[in-house]
Structure 1
Amino acid sequence: MAKRTFLPATASAGLHDGAAAPSRTLIEQTYAALRNDIIEGRLEPGSKLRIEHLRGQYSVGAGTLREAITRLASDALVTSEGQRGFRVAPIALEELEDLTRLRVQVEIEALRQSIRHGGAAWRVAVRSSYEAISALEQPIEPAHRRQWETLNVRFHETLLAGQASPWTQKVLRLLSRHGERYRRYAMGLPGSVRDVHAEHTEICELALAGHEARAALALEAHIRATPDLLAQALRSGRLVLPGGSDDASAGA
């Protein structure tokens, strides 16, 4: 993995927040870099996070690394081993199935509430986020996958923002962070013919037309597509999940 270098905090941040601002900015940058490397698999599932090694890799101090890793532990992307340090959280199809069941329960209800209560501003925002992601997913090029992930999160969050529960959005954001780890493998499967753009189009059009039940069914099928693809790939031997379970029967 290439050595990481971070930009210094801006002077204006220091004017507002005092001496803590540069440190906080560096922690945020380190957290974002570690999180991205976990999601992309550069820090492999189950691998030990050794502070001394990571200090040189990310060009930051031990204290900054511990703060960033602690945040990742609160996101459940890192596991704590007590006095023995930290490891990247493992991945397994069983976990993905569990995440999927929870997403379906929470996200479907949030979509129903958004369709019922979302106003004109919500409709404009949904259409705008849909058009933004559409520009990158016909098809999704490998070079644009990170940008697509950002727009995908924005589309789903906007779609569900018509309801009034901030905690719903927080829970879904956490689930999305974990789902992103698995989407990376699903999107890299050879011979995949999934049309994600068509799925997003159907969800968007049904939601904006107020077809609550049909939109909910389309969203559920969309959420379940990734674990279904991965389960099929595991059964056929086309995929082994690193650091996790490759048992296709897990969670099936």
Structure 2
Amino acid sequence: MAKRSITPHSLGANGQNGGARTLIERAYEQLRADIIEGRLAPGEKLRVEHLKDHYEVSAGTLREAITRLVSDALVVAEGQRGFRVAPIALEELEDITRLRVQIETEALRQSIQAGDSAWREAVQAAYAALSHAEPIVPARRREWELLNLRFHEALLSGHASPWTLRVLRLLSRHSERYRSVGMHLPGSQREVHAEHTEIYEYAMAGQDARAALALEAHIRATPDALIRALREGRITLPSADAHQVGEALLA
């Protein structure tokens, strides 16, 4: 795994580094991507003194980035013992899924009922942009994740609720690792674009109950597929014991 080079912004006139926050943001994004895509395995210990060289930032900058990942529930703080990548488990995915179904389907119904012409235009634009990125391919997964989030948030924007969006963003960020695993399921027959199209068409037709049912099926598709694959022995969930990604970084 090659080093992550982070180039600081130019120094200000007073000689101070004006890009400190940008360095933290970049380290955060790169760490987050490595966790979601499995290069840093669930349960892996994050040794700051070693990883700072890998990401080419200071220990302080890396700790700031890791602290943000704790807030995202992607990293677990272990008191004085440092940090580990949060574990991954089907029980957790099922819990996340239940919460998303409860919160997001009701928010969608309210949004459709209250949505105006500006809401319709926002949903149409988000759907069109997402459609250009589908079907999903692993190489463009990060782009798709962003467009997918924008589409789901546009659907809910007809009935503004900042706290609903905050909660759903947290759930979405934490479930990305499961979606990443799901994309590599052997023999997967899922048609994600067709699922999005069904939700979109019901929303545009004002059929809030049908749109909510389609959204629930869409949310449940990944955990259902993972559970089936695990039961059939086609996959195992990643873990630090299964592949020592972090140890390779220290070599």
Which residue of the other structure, out of 224, 228, 243, is the alignment partner of 1:228? 224
**Matched residue, 1:198:** 194
Distance 1:81 1:7 in 2: 30
**Matched residue, 2:46:** 49
1:115–1:59 distance in 2 versus 1, CA, 3 Å: same
**Matched residue, 2:182:** 186
Establish whether residue 105 from structure 1 lines up as the match of residue 102 from structure 2.
Answer: yes
Which one-letter code corresponds to 2:5 in the other structure? Answer: T
Tell me the CA shift for residue 102 of structure 1: 0.3
Which one-letter code corresponds to 1:55 in the other structure? Answer: K
Which stretches in structure 2 are left out of the alignment for 5+ residues?
243-251
2:70 aligns to what SS in structure 1?
helix
1:87 aligns to what SS in structure 2?
strand
Establish whether residue 170 from structure 1 lines up as the match of residue 146 from structure 2.
Answer: no
Tell me the CA shift for residue 55 of structure 1: 0.8
Which one-letter code corresponds to 2:205 in the other structure? Answer: A
1:233 aligns to what SS in structure 2?
helix
Tell me the CA shift for residue 141 of structure 1: 2.2
**Matched residue, 1:76:** 73
Deviations for 1:58-85, whole angstroms, at most 9, x for unmatched residues?
0000000111111111111100111100
Check conservation: 2:9, 2:17, Cα contact below 8 A.
Answer: no
Which one-letter code corresponds to 1:120 in the other structure? Answer: S
Establish whether residue 60 from structure 1 lines up as the match of residue 57 from structure 2.
Answer: yes
Which residue of the other structure, out of 203, 210, 217, is the alignment partner of 1:207? 203
Deviations for 1:70-113, whole angstroms, at most 9, x for unmatched residues?
11111111001111000000000000000000001110111011
**Matched residue, 1:7:** 7
Deviations for 1:152-191, whole angstroms, at most 9, x for unmatched residues?
1111111111112111111111100011110011111111
Distance 2:212 2:124 in 1: 17
Which residue of the other structure, out of 10, 23, 42, is the alignment partner of 1:26? 23
Which one-letter code corresponds to 1:133 in the other structure? Answer: L
Tell me the CA shift for residue 142 of structure 1: 2.4
1:190 aligns to what SS in structure 2?
coil
Establish whether residue 123 from structure 1 lines up as the match of residue 120 from structure 2.
Answer: yes
**Matched residue, 2:247:** none
Tell me the CA shift for residue 19 of structure 1: 5.1
Distance 2:10 2:86 in 1: 33
2:84 aligns to what SS in structure 1?
strand
Tell me the CA shift for residue 146 of structure 1: 1.9
1:79 aligns to what SS in structure 2?
strand
Please tell me the root mean square deviation across aligned C-alpha atoms, in Å: 1.9
Distance 2:115 2:31 in 1: 36
- Runs of 4+ that moved beyond 3 A: 18-21
Distance 2:69 2:136 in 1: 28
Which residue of the other structure, out of 144, 147, 151, is the alignment partner of 1:148? 144
Identity %: 69
Check conservation: 2:90, 2:227, Cα contact below 8 A.
Answer: yes
Distance 2:80 2:137 in 1: 43
**Matched residue, 1:243:** 239
TM-score, normalised on structure 1?
0.91
Q: What is the number of equivalent residue pairs in this alignment?
A: 241
Distance 2:75 2:17 in 1: 25
Check conservation: 2:195, 2:218, Cα contact below 8 A.
Answer: yes
